[in-house]
Amino acid sequence: MYYMPEVRMTVVWNDQTWNRDSVWMRTNGGAALRAGPRIAAACAVTLAITIGAAWLPHTLMQSRDSRSEVAVFRGAPVEHLTNLNVVDALVGIELHERLGHVEWSNSVLSLELVVPSNAGRPERWFDDVERLIGLSYQQLDNVKRLLIRIVESDGKKKRLLAAVDVREGDAWLFSDMGELRNSDPVHDEIWRQRLRLSFTSVWMDRFGKPEGYSARSVRPGSSDIAK
């Protein structure tokens, strides 16, 4: 963009010069007039070179910037979480809802999943929970505890709806993680226990009291939940 005014000024200057020369040529015989096409061709070549010189640096800059952007977004996934890369680790996850407060301290990752106060479905929220658990224990190698708070927001204030607490020692993370995607943690008692899922009175006012059932039996005395 910086070079375009310069090109336009060159064109105007050439045009003005040609107009003055054409008057002189008409008064000095046919030889001068015959030189007109050659002068016009030379002006055209000069204009082409000027435009080319103006746009080449701009094109190279765009190409370089494009390569830089690709390099940034194709970086290797984060595997070891730190305070410096926690944003990079989370930005690559596709979620239905947005994340609010995020904290990483003493191997504990605390997240706030912000949902609308007048819309949304719990099924989609727990789909996000499943993806965050997958990130924490299938991609990252140093998360010992994951805390997720589901809060509703009307743009002015937030209210806690539910909370999830997952720990590195939970055996189901390795044996039954694949079942979480098709589960119903709100109503399935087993998954409520596995996720240490708790609901507030705000949730119950909005959705009613969760009614528990067990999708499959658990042997007496057995547990895949860490203490």
Q: Which amino acid is at 23?
A: V
- The reported pLDDT for the residue numbered 209 is 87
d(CA 54, CA 217): 74
Spell 48-71 as b/e; 16+ CB within 10 A means b: eebeeebeeeeeeeeeeeeeeeee
Q: Output the pTM of the full model.
A: 0.64
What is the DSSP-derived secondary structure letter of residue 171?
A: T
Q: Residue 222: its pLDDT value, please?
A: 52
Rg (CA), the chain: 34
Low-confidence ranges of the chain (pLDDT < 50): 1-28, 32-33, 43-74, 217-221
- Rounded Cα distance between 161 and 17, Å, is 77
What is the per-residue pLDDT for 155? 87
- What pLDDT sits at residue 210? 84
Question: Residue 50's pLDDT is what?
Answer: 43
